[in-house]
């Protein structure tokens, strides 16, 4: 998959993205991990993923395929100097649910197949290929007591 990161901004600028996890940590491609901003003397340059100007005020970029499945937040910055800097201006944000291989969207879930196991109640939602499970719902029921009093 490609171009999961999308941003609208005046063409002719230089934009980059920073991917953050739910804890607010930034993805560092060099260490292949999420870390607190500035760990090991890392700067914006270490967290920046370049975006490509597609003209017409649209920029795109690829989500790092080494990031594990989960919910992530993407910040888009306009680069002011020769390299990304902590002082660059934030120009957009995006939330993305990542399957570990591609973005998961409601359209993808609704357009593809889902199968339910009648014994367990588990529902698997499949990708276009009919083989890759994108999402699994599993019903969880807790034991409870129900009493009735006759009137």
Distance between CA 55 and CA 74 in Å, rounded? Answer: 21
Give first-to-last CA distance, the chain, whole Å.
64
Distance between CA 47 and CA 133 in Å, rounded? Answer: 30
Percent over 70 (pLDDT), the chain: 82
Q: Are strands 33-35 and 26-28 parallel, antiparallel or unpaired?
A: antiparallel
Domains of the chain: 5-98 (2.60.40), 105-151 (no CATH)
**What is the value of pTM for the model shown?**
0.70
User: Considering only CA atoms, which of 51, 36, 43 is closest in space to residue 86?
Assistant: 43
Q: Which of 5-19, 27-41, 108-122, 124-138 has the lowest mean pLDDT?
A: 108-122
Q: In this structure, how many other beta carbons lie within 10 angstroms of the beta carbon of residue 31?
A: 12
């Amino acid at each position: 998959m490609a171009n999961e990161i999308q941003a609208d901004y005046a063409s002719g600028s230089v934009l980059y993205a920073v991917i953050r996890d739910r804890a607010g940590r930034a993805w560092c491609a060099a260490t292949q991990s999420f870390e607190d901003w500035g760990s090991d003397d890392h700067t914006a340059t270490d967290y920046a993923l370049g975006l490509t100007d597609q003209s017409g005020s649209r920029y795109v970029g690829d989500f790092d395929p080494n990031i594990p499945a989960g919910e992530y937040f993407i910040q888009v910055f306009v680069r002011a100097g020769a390299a990304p800097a902590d002082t660059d201006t934030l120009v957009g944000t995006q939330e993305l649910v990542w399957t570990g291989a591609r973005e998961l969207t409601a359209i993808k879930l609704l357009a593809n197949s889902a199968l339910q196991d009648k014994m367990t109640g588990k529902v698997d939602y499949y990708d276009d290929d009919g083989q890759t499970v994108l999402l699994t719902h599993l019903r969880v029921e807790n034991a409870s007591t129900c009493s009735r009093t006759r009137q």
